[in-house]
Chain A
């Protein structure tokens, strides 16, 4: 779950990481009121789940009330790479002496936490990694030991920050590590981490991705959930608890299991079609879940055919077939359906479907044949 910048800063603040005072607002009037409270100069920043805000005109400095009014008016409603700005963040503008980069994430190869720190901040870390890999000081942290102050200090020295920043950086990195681990984040990134002319170190931006699996042990995550960007199809699927990713094509895809669903999307592409979505109905494909999945797909106006790909393991093919038949009785489907059922009790399943076969519902024995038929029907 990706947080917006202002949510990330509020998250950081809970762990004592210094961030600029600011307010999140949705109207020009509120922006003006916030700026008057905060004091000038302020920065007006678009809050979107996408990078490249500055280049798109989504970050502006305002020295007075007229400039706040002007910039807030321009930024609210601005389209940044398909994300329309609803919320802006007004914060006190910081004086910057130097810009650094700091982050924690999981290194899946090493199976340890990876901290990255660089004196080259304010630019994309991927670019630094490519052009000047030695400019990034890395530290691998065993989750059992955690990050000690001595290790943090050594790491900061290795990154060759301005010596004035050492103590402040060590303090922030220790707090950032706590935020990352205790806060159940997949990623905590500060870019830029700044050194002010007055010597303080400060988080000027916040990029935080939280681990949705840990929501049960954190209060207040519903608020973050509410600002996640989903299209109508994704929202409908989310409301039904389905694993759904919207794509651009015309073949609706329903499968059981993430791997099989991904594989189904692949095979539709391989035979010359374009999948409309990825949808994993999970292990037990009962009528309820199948009906919900069919509703979500049916509400997508681009869908011209539906490919249901089920492999019966523990879930029996005949039970799945009965589920589909029951679901079809509940939901009126506009696009023709092609079903492939294989695995446990597949023959019994196909026999059940055979009684209901028509132009709108056909069963194919293999994944490849079913994909070809579905793609043909979508043309």
Chain B
């Protein structure tokens, strides 16, 4: 099993006709993902390499039965795209786009939560989600992940996620699902949402968590792990030596007022029984030990 998406998931791509959307949409289809439709009101009736394009998400859903949407719309249009997907009744909206204004994110997160509680948002500014061997929705290179299990991965960083997938593959360890939640201030899906799903997934036996400085999401995850999780967890936090007050690339990655430091996050996770590595390789090695002991 996998969490959130699998081989039966039908996906519609908002922005499939754009350069990014068509590149990754077709790549995801090559991987085996059921890419059933694209959306572009100006190009309805056309197709992208055989994938039909509809005017709206609702029409795409009606015609294809898609339940997941993947958003490759430029930042100014993301708010409207997410709300359209939620209104059309998508179960999951994966937002790859980076550079979305924080006020837009705060608005559509709360709007969707209240008016469309059946819709989960993943991202924005995330690499997407991959259930290796089953479905790959987003920009992760599918070939760096080994299908199967027993490990689930949840990460706030793109390249470090790839690093984690690859290190586990080199060790011969498979992954059930790898979720990139993204580094923005208002992520639609949190660490806790993923940990909860992994805890409930019978095929996931252990979880790897990759966090970074800023905010308190890792501390909240630690509390959840401590009180609600039975499965073992390994973790890595990037930004141990980041200077306070300087944004390190991600909008969320900043240490301010002494809050959000890597040290505090690592301590909270260690206290929750998580095996915390000092670098991505070490976190991978810790996971190898965990898997051997399962």
Contact = CB atoms under 8 A, between A and B. Distances in A.
Given A260-B157, A262-B242, A144 B212 contact: no
B159 A257 contact: yes
A205 B291 CA distance: 56
A267 B279 contact: yes
B92 interface: no
A270 B241 CA distance: 9
A217 B76 contact: yes
A245 B249 CA distance: 9
A263 B162 contact: no
Interface residues of A, number: 49
B65 interface: no
Interface string B214-252: 011100100000000000000010111111001111111
A311 B107 contact: no
A211 interface: yes
A292 B27 CA distance: 29
A267 to B, nearest CB: 5
A311 B250 contact: no
A261 interface: yes
B156 interface: yes
A156 B39 CA distance: 47
B158 to A, nearest CB: 5
B190 to A, nearest CB: 9
A211 B281 contact: no
A198 interface: no
Given A112-B110, A213-B102, A259-B160, A344 B144 contact: yes
B131 interface: no
B183 interface: yes
B159 A367 contact: no
A112 B139 contact: no
Contacts, number: 169
A266 B157 CA distance: 15
B280 interface: yes
Main SS of the interface on chain A?
mixed
Interface in A236-285: 243, 245, 247, 255-263, 265-267, 269-270, 275, 278, 280, 283
Given A258-B250, A259-B210, A262-B238, A311 B159 contact: yes
Nearest to B111: A144
A266 B76 CA distance: 34
A311 B166 CA distance: 10
Given A213-B100, A259-B183, A265-B242, A270 B279 contact: yes
A182 to B, nearest CB: 8
Contacts of A216: 75-76
A359 interface: no
A342 B284 CA distance: 15
A342 B213 CA distance: 24
Contacts of B220: 109
Contacts of A214: 101-103
B102 A266 contact: no
A77 interface: no
11 contacts: A111-B106, A126-B257, A243-B249, A259-B250, A262-B157, A263-B280, A265-B242, A266-B278, A313-B127, A343-B141, A344-B143
Interface of B: 27, 75-76, 99-103, 106-107, 109-111, 114, 127, 139-141, 143-144, 155-163, 166, 183, 185-186, 210, 212-213, 215-217, 220, 236, 238-243, 246-253, 257, 262, 278-281
Interface of A: 106, 108-109, 111-113, 126, 142-144, 181, 184, 186, 211, 213-214, 216-217, 243, 245, 247, 255-263, 265-267, 269-270, 275, 278, 280, 283, 311-314, 342-344, 366-368
